Amino acid sequence: MPSRGVGGAVARPASVAVTGAVPRLPAWSALGWFCRRKPLGAVGGALMLVVALGAVFAGSLAAYDPIETDAAHTLEPPGARHWLGSDHLGRDVYSRIVYGARVSLVVGLLSTVLGSVVGGLIGLLSGYFGGKADLLAQRVLDILQGLPLLVLALVMSATLGPSLPNVIVAISVPIVPRAARVIRASVLTIRESQYVEAARALGGGHGRLAFRHILPNTLGPFIVLATAQLGGAVLVEAALSFLGLGVPEPLPSWGRMLSVSAAEYAQKAPWLVLFPGIAISLLVFGSNLLGDALRDLLDPKLRGH
Amino acid sequence: MRRYVASRLGVAVLTLFGMSVVIFVLLRLAPGNIVDILFATGGYVNEAEKRLIMTELGLDRPIWAQYLRWIADVVSGDLGKSYRYDLPAWQLVKPLIPVTVELALISTAIAALLGIPTGVISAVRQDSALDHALRIFSLAGLSMPSFWLGMVIILALVAWIGWIPPVTYVSPAANLPLHLVQFLLPGLAVGYRSSALIMRLTRSALLEVLREDYIRTARAKGQSGPAVIWRHALANAILPVVTVVGIEFAFLIGGLVVTETVFNLPGVARFLVQAILWRDYPVVQNLVMFIAIVVILTNLGVDLLYAWLDPRIRYAK
Amino acid sequence: MSAFLAFALAVTAVNAVRPPAARATPAPRRGGILRLMLREDLPQGFAIHETATNSTVWPSLPCFNNLVTFQPLKPVERPDTIVGDLAERWAWTSDYRALTFTLRRHVRWHDGQPLTAKDVKYTFDMVREAPEASARLRINPRKDWYAAVEAIDVPDPYTVTFRLRRPQPSLLMMLASGYSPVYPAHIAPAEFRTRCVGTGPFRLKEWRKGEYVEYVRNPEYFVPGRPYLDGLRYVVIAERGTRFAALQAGQLDAAMPAEGTRTIVEQLKAAAPRMVVSEINVGVNDNLLLNTKRPPFNDVQVRRALSLAVDRRAYVRAVHQGGAVVGAALSPPPTGAWGLSAADLEGLPGYGRPADDKARARKLLADAGYGPGRPLRVEVATRAISLYVDFASFVINELRQVGIDGTLRQVETAQWHPLVTRREFEIAANLTGLGVDDPDANLYENYACGSPRNYGDYCDDQVMQLVEQQSREIDPKKRLAIVWQIQRKLEADAARPMMGWRLDYFAQWPYVRNLVPHHSAYNWSRMQDVWLDR
């Protein structure tokens, strides 16, 4: 059964991590090779890079302080003064989008990493040791996965309360079982391979075996999974913020920019609705493109998806 | 086969129990309870009065006692009383189910109608400009927040034809065309997203099948293009597609939460959000378990369908 | 000149200066269903006595009647606009220690039972938690309104007398508020959380939870010929933008009080120029709670510095886009009867020239030992709702300019009242809605020593004395002077610095007649005289 990544990309476990599909080259050439080979993936990577740069250099790129209000210039359409318009308090939409990139990326990345790492560890140990521990882990994962993603994130968020770290944890929780599933399946196949048999025969201890031999070969599917989940994490954060359970003020969040205030003024100021949504879409689109390209490269069995 | 089903059901029951504990505990970990909220509507709080109400609602008993009480109630058919509305939870949820089911069905239908044909075209014309265009179109569907898409649809309607969809539920009995339009818009918003997944899976499944030997054999035998595709390829590719459509249906609940809020439809998902915000434990617990049961049963059903359609899988587990 | 000629000239002169007669309003027509909006589902059903929110009062008022009420067609609410509702007439004793009502006869509850004075005694004994009360409210926000009531006598089935411990002219105003409906003695108060049985012009038809509330005309209403409407329909729409879009598209007939900010209504009027918009002062004010038990806020100079730092007029512009008025503890004139006017506010902290005020603030802080080397760090708590957050963010910004380092702390709504009740805050951005424009309904609750809702724990003996004095004062002019004095002292002491009073822009379609918005949120939604002109 294909397991579904949050971002929607269908991630099948790699049967064997492929070496040789990715040539070993110095960094720049590898990049160029990648761009030629997978142009769409390069576009995706570029989109994500733009967002990342915006997040990192927000201070210099933003035109105004994102939380500074200006009663004299509320709901201004995009123009010379406010490139992407201003909202009902006179805050500059462009600056809020630039700073909002921070929130979206931080939440998206950290929750994905947290969820994938925790899930990956569970999957690694569960797949490696098998037996009773595996069965138990499977049931626990079933529980977490049985609840629809947004519902679980909602309850977690309500439980933990509105703050940045809590939102990250809330969004990472649904990712854990999906990551565990993928890594575990990968581990199961690798475990029986001849390569590992040989290492075991040579007398490697469990730790060594697990971490030095099996783990690196799961890296392929792991990267694919992580990029697939990233887009989904950003979307969940947007939905949570839209419902009022996400990152709290005054941090500008793209999702929250779309909630209450945007909907109220949508007719008079459609730019309040369009731009944050476009920002979210571009980031997720980029991560999906990149994820697709990486999966194509790292797992030829899935080529053509 | 029967053993397979039995063992799966057994596992499902265990999982449901586990989920019940998780949801029960999580809810009570959340700061604030219904009594806090009731007092908030009263504009003040008084600790003594608060304790009285908590006793009245049974919230002062230890957590394990409350849990056992809940399980005992559910097993005996009592689906709890809403703290907020003081009415049986089932009575409150019953009229909402048809709305959510209808929305889910319409979204899934749109998703299939949009996704399967585009997936087929994309697979048949692999690597052509059309293929790329369709893949980008479907990927865009996966990238847009569905609630945003809903808002943009409404905005566009207002801007282009000066008309907004009805903001309150229109029943089919009252005005069937308006009712259909009212459901079509959120259906599109959610369905577009699901169609992307279905399209991608259709495409990949079809591509794999197209490479299979027996297709080549059929071609070598001189059977013409479209016949090959429709008779052999699609029949075999339909399998994973059906399973994904089935899974998507269950996972729609998440997308429906925001969509029902944006389009103001009186469905189960919107009610659930309100119940979570109000810490209406009986409603949230029972609704979430209900959703979980639906999801598990759907998964089980899909697995069985999969096994039935593909005999290779049936006994391999 | 003959008397006749003089008279004729006088009449002519008078007619010359009188404005031309307004186009006569048409006679009311019967029929139609008025479609209104709700921002959330009724939190506790129709149990007005157990809530303090307009989400309950606005849609529940059509079901009930009070003893007395404010004239529906007059926007200001004053003692002289009070008219009888269930009471035909009433009278104070000369010392204002007893208030007697004579009830109408032949009034029936919606279930057919007759209304008698017993129902009135039952209701108000319950609310004031009298020892002999036969029922209890689960949540009772307005117990203190009736603290001065010693006993309620029912000498005959249509006479009720409120006997007071001491004079309290405000009692009548409080009984006229939408928050004081009469409950039936034969129905448990808990029932009102799910259904409504009143004497009002409309009977509850259906409450579809989370969706709508529907009423039908009460054919046995005691006012002959009323109501004109066939029914009412309140629709729950959670998103404000959607609510106003529905109003604009004609799917709804009128708005809800305290919903229309200036910007939204400007947008609405641009798209629907025929919309009638009334600017009203709904009696909701933004204020800052300062925890006077926590240093350094126990130091009045530091509090004053905080109040000086926040420019109230800039607040009105920045946070409400001009849709608010400045004022002190009570609603300012001309719509409020007791408040300080803008002229009176000059000289109080925060109302002067911003640069001067901020300089004075810095000096006061320096005197208290704070300065660039040792900045005052404060935490401003607020509810996690964008309106409150905007308010708190503005305040933090202002404080920053006098060297106070403020951080924002958001609190979930369910946690807000427990937090402020436990006094777990330094500064809090707060909102207070007043049930009725009366000092007694406001000052005791918020400023009395030891009041649980005096969240800042401000306690000043002189103020307490003045509050008691004005409550007993029968002469309105004298009372007004005392109330002004109280407000000035409260602002000077920065007890609970007032930011401003919100203005609501109530929008309705022109065919909705006789729905006259009052300068309050809670007291005018009975819909008894409303009719649809189409």
Amino acid present at C477: K
pLDDT at residue C511, rounded to an integer: 96
Q: Which two tokens stand for residue C346?
A: 């000059």
Inter-chain touch C240–A263, beta carbons under 8 Å: yes
How many Cα atoms sit within 13 Å of B93 on the Cβ side?
23
pLDDT at residue C164, rounded to an integer: 96
Inter-chain touch C317–A71, beta carbons under 8 Å: yes
Q: Of C392, C309, C319, give the one whose Cα is nearest residue C350.
A: C309
Whether B280 and B84 have beta carbons less than 8 Å apart is answered as: yes
Measure the CA–CA gap between B123 and B128, rounded to whole angstroms. Answer: 10
Query: Taking CB atoms and an 8 Å cutoff, what residues of chain B touch A159?
Result: 26-27, 29-31
User: Is A136's Cβ below 8 Å from some Cβ in B?
Assistant: no
Classify C61 as helix, strand or coil: helix
Residue with the two structure tokens 């400023």: C447
Residues sharing a CB contact under 8 Å with residue B311, sequence separation 6 or more, in sequence order: none
Q: Which long-range contacts (CB under 8 A, 24 or more apart) does A165-171 make?
A: A167/A107, A167/A111, A167/A237, A167/A240, A167/A246, A167/A247, A168/A106, A168/A107, A168/A110, A168/A111, A168/A114, A169/A111, A169/A114, A170/A111, A170/A240, A171/A107, A171/A111, A171/A115, A171/A233, A171/A236, A171/A237, A171/A240
**Structure-derived torsion over alpha carbons of residues B200, B192, B296, B308, reported in degrees to the nearest 10:** -50
Measure the CA–CA gap between C415 and C407, rounded to whole angstroms. Answer: 19
User: Is B136's Cβ below 8 Å from some Cβ in C?
Assistant: no
Inter-chain touch C193–B86, beta carbons under 8 Å: yes
Cβ-in-10-Å burial (0-12, 13-18, 19+) of C13 comes to: exposed
**β-strand partners of C502:** C324
Inter-chain touch A244–C241, beta carbons under 8 Å: no
User: Is A64's Cβ below 8 Å from some Cβ in B?
Assistant: no
Residues sharing a CB contact under 8 Å with residue C434, sequence separation 6 or more, in sequence order: C283, C284, C285, C331, C441, C442, C520
Question: Which of B36, B42, B53 is opposite residue C418, by nearest beta carbon?
Answer: B36
A86-103 b/e with 16+ CB inside 10 Å = b?
A: bbbbbbbbbbbbbbbbbb
User: Is C452's Cβ below 8 Å from some Cβ in B?
Assistant: yes
Question: Which of A71, A250, A268 is opposite residue C321, by nearest beta carbon?
Answer: A71
Three-state SS sequence of A55-124: HHCHHHHCCCCCCCCCHHHCCCCCCCCCCCCECCCCCEHHHHHHHHHHHHHHHHHHHHHHHHHHHHHHHH
Inter-chain touch C194–B167, beta carbons under 8 Å: no
Q: Of A238, A107, C406, C172, give the one whose Cα is nearest residue B145.
A: A238
Residue A12, pLDDT > 60, answer no
Measure the CA–CA gap between C148 and C161, rounded to whole angstroms. Answer: 13
C-alpha B123, offset from chain centre: 27
For chain C, give me the number of helices (H) and strands (E)?
A: 15, 19
Chains touching A (at least 3 CB pairs under 8 A) are B, C
C321-356 b/e with 16+ CB inside 10 Å = b?
A: bebbbbbbbbbbbebbbbbbeeebbeebbbbbebee
Q: Of A67, B37, B2, give the one whose Cα is nearest residue C139.
A: B37
Mean pLDDT, rounded, of chain A = 76
Inter-chain touch B87–C416, beta carbons under 8 Å: no
Distance from CA of B85 to the nearest CA of C (A): 7
Of A107-116, A270-279, B124-133, C29-38, give the lowest mean pLDDT range: B124-133
Handedness of CA C483, C484, C489, C490 (dihedral sign): positive
Inter-chain touch B148–A280, beta carbons under 8 Å: yes
Task: Spell out the per-residue pLDDT of chain C, length 534, in tens.
Answer: 444 444 445 444 444 444 444 445 688 999 999 999 999 999 999 999 999 999 999 999 999 999 999 999 999 999 999 999 999 999 999 989 999 999 999 999 999 999 999 999 999 999 999 999 999 999 999 998 999 999 999 999 999 999 999 999 999 999 999 999 999 999 999 999 999 999 999 999 999 998 999 999 999 999 999 999 999 999 998 878 788 888 988 899 999 998 888 888 888 898 889 999 999 999 999 999 999 999 889 999 999 999 999 999 999 988 888 889 999 999 999 999 999 988 889 889 888 888 999 999 999 999 988 888 888 899 999 987 777 888 998 899 899 889 898 888 888 777 788 889 889 999 999 999 888 999 999 999 999 998 888 999 999 999 999 999 999 999 999 999 999 999 999 999 999 999 999 999 999 999 999 999 999 999 999 999 999 998
Does ipTM exceed 0.90?
A: no
* Helix, strand, coil tally for chain A in percent (to 5): 70, 0, 25
Residues sharing a CB contact under 8 Å with residue C188, sequence separation 6 or more, in sequence order: C135
pLDDT at residue C199, rounded to an integer: 96
Question: Which of A90, A260, A267 is opposite residue C386, by nearest beta carbon?
Answer: A260
Question: Which of C241, C318, C410 is opposite residue A162, by nearest beta carbon?
Answer: C410
Measure the CA–CA gap between C420 and C429, rounded to whole angstroms. Answer: 11
pLDDT bin (cut points 50, 70, 90) of residue A213 is: low
Measure the CA–CA gap between A162 and A152, rounded to whole angstroms. Answer: 15
Inter-chain touch C386–A261, beta carbons under 8 Å: yes
Most C CBs within 10 A among B92, B97, B168, B169, hence the mutation to make, goes to B168
Measure the CA–CA gap between C424 and C299, rounded to whole angstroms. Answer: 18
Per the rule left: phi > 0, alpha: psi between -120 and 50, beta: everything else, C32 is: left
User: Is A163's Cβ below 8 Å from some Cβ in B?
Assistant: no
Inter-chain touch A235–B276, beta carbons under 8 Å: no
Cβ-in-10-Å burial (0-12, 13-18, 19+) of B3 comes to: exposed
Inter-chain touch A267–C267, beta carbons under 8 Å: yes
Q: Which of residues A15 and C231 earns the better pLDDT score?
A: C231
Question: Helix H segments across C369-438?
Answer: 386-400, 413-421
Amino acid present at C145: W
C-alpha C237, offset from chain centre: 23
Those of residues 414-473 in C touching chain A at CB distance below 8 A are none
pLDDT at residue C3, rounded to an integer: 47
Whether B70 and B289 have beta carbons less than 8 Å apart is answered as: no
Residues sharing a CB contact under 8 Å with residue C197, sequence separation 6 or more, in sequence order: C63, C109, C110, C111, C184, C187, C191
**β-strand partners of C281:** C503
Whether C109 and C184 have beta carbons less than 8 Å apart is answered as: yes
Inter-chain touch A148–B23, beta carbons under 8 Å: no
Inter-chain touch C55–B44, beta carbons under 8 Å: no
Inter-chain touch B155–A302, beta carbons under 8 Å: no
Inter-chain touch C55–B41, beta carbons under 8 Å: yes
Q: What is the per-residue pLDDT across A20-30, written as a single tens digit (0 to 9) for each?
A: 455 566 777 77
What chain C residue is nearest to B151 in terms of C-alpha separation?
A: C242
Amino acid present at B24: F
Measure the CA–CA gap between C286 and A26, rounded to whole angstroms. Answer: 63
Q: Which two tokens stand for residue A40?
A: 């769409």
Question: Which of C271, C321, C410 is opposite residue A74, by nearest beta carbon?
Answer: C321
Measure the CA–CA gap between B159 and A269, rounded to whole angstroms. Answer: 12
Q: What angle do CA A112, B29, B260 make, to 5 degrees?
A: 65
Residues of A with CB under 8 A from a CB of C: 67-69, 71, 74-75, 88-90, 161-162, 244, 248-250, 260-268
What chain B residue is nearest to C55 in terms of C-alpha separation?
A: B41
Query: Taking CB atoms and an 8 Å cutoff, what residues of chain A touch C312?
Result: none
pLDDT at residue C501, rounded to an integer: 94
Handedness of CA A167, A171, A176, A177 (dihedral sign): positive
Inter-chain touch B143–A285, beta carbons under 8 Å: yes
Measure the CA–CA gap between B134 and A63, rounded to whole angstroms. Answer: 37
Question: Which of B42, B158, B261 is opposite residue C238, by nearest beta carbon?
Answer: B261
Measure the CA–CA gap between B284 and A236, rounded to whole angstroms. Answer: 20
Task: Spell out the per-residue pLDDT of chain B, length 317, in tens.
Answer: 677 778 878 888 888 888 888 888 888 887 778 898 898 888 888 888 999 999 988 888 888 899 998 989 888 888 888 999 989 988 998 999 899 889 988 988 888 888 888 888 888 887 788 888 888 888 888 888 888 888 888 888 877 887 888 888 888 888 898 899 899 988 988 888 888 878 887 787 777 777 765 566 666 776 656 666 566 666 666 666 666 666 666 567 767 888 888 788 999 888 988 888 888 989 988 888 888 887 777 777 777 776 676 655 544 44
